[in-house]
Amino acid sequence: MKIISETITLSELEQMAANLFGNMVKAVVDIDREILAVDAELHADLEALLLENGSTQKNLWGINLYPELYRGDEFIEFDSMINIRPSQGNRSLGVEGEKTRNQIAHIVLKKIIQ
């Protein structure tokens, strides 16, 4: 598991994918601190890592990244058990708010470089 506060290369992300799931990397994004945690079997483990490092749960959103689809709309999949939080108006595995999805995408694309 790794917290990305600066940047990570696409090739590093591809290696993480190859080592664990083959074509996908799980990630959790802190939309307030604009950081992400990557490279674990469970989003919950990444969430715990960020919480231990000063993040607030309401700002954490789970996603899946598909490095081979970096240039396409399917690079980021907004799907995780940690996203179910009716108290914030999110009742599904996905990230229902367009503003939140846009924030997540902006942070991810800023942190992952070619």
d(CA 63, CA 24): 10
- In 3-state terms, what secondary structure has residue 74? coil
- Could you tell me the two tokens for 53? 């490092």
Per-residue model confidence as pLDDT tens for the chain (114 residues): 999 999 999 999 999 999 999 999 999 999 999 999 999 999 999 999 999 999 999 999 999 999 999 988 999 999 999 999 999 999 999 999 999 999 999 999 999 998
Distance, CA of 100 to CA of 42 (rounded, Å): 21
How large is the C-alpha radius of gyration of the chain? 13
Distance from the first to the final alpha carbon of the chain: 21
pTM, two decimal places = 0.96
Strand duo 60-65 + 2-4: pairing: unpaired
